[in-house]
Each structure stands twice: as structure tokens, then as C-alpha cells.
Amino acid sequence: METYYWTTEQPHTDNNETMQNYLEEINMLDIIMVDGTYAEGVNAKGEKYALHASGNGDSFNHKIEFELL
């Protein structure tokens, strides 16, 4: 999966907030585990991915990187 980038009007105080925002507002995977800035989820094909939340330059720009497990 491609890295997902987005911008928020309110800044995120840390990458834990970025992960929670992604999971609550954007996510399309079946999430099976969350640990701060790391999560794991499964898509409709049964493929399992690791998700890594981070900033993208400042507190208003964010990204989630995916790694096929």
C-alpha cells in the first residue's frame, strides 16, 4: 500500500494522536492491534499490514506508512 499523507487544521501534539486520528477518520483496514504509533491491520484480501504513524514536516502534516507483513 502507498504511504498515506494528510493535513489537519489543528496540530497533533505527538504521533500517538496522528495514529488515533488516522484510525478514527481514515482507516479502511480491519485493525487487530494498536501500540502507540504502530498498528497492524488486515485488508479484504487477508493481507496483513504494519502501520507506522509519523509527522511529515510539522504538526499539521502527517503520514501513515504501510509494511506488508
Per residue in 10-67, pLDDT (tens digit) is 999 999 999 999 999 999 999 999 999 999 999 999 999 999 999 999 999 999 999 9
Dihedral Cα 46, 48, 16, 18, nearest 10 deg:
-60
Domain parsing of the chain, residue ranges:
4-68
First to last CA, the chain: 12
The pLDDT, as a whole number, for residue 19 is 98
* pTM score: 0.92
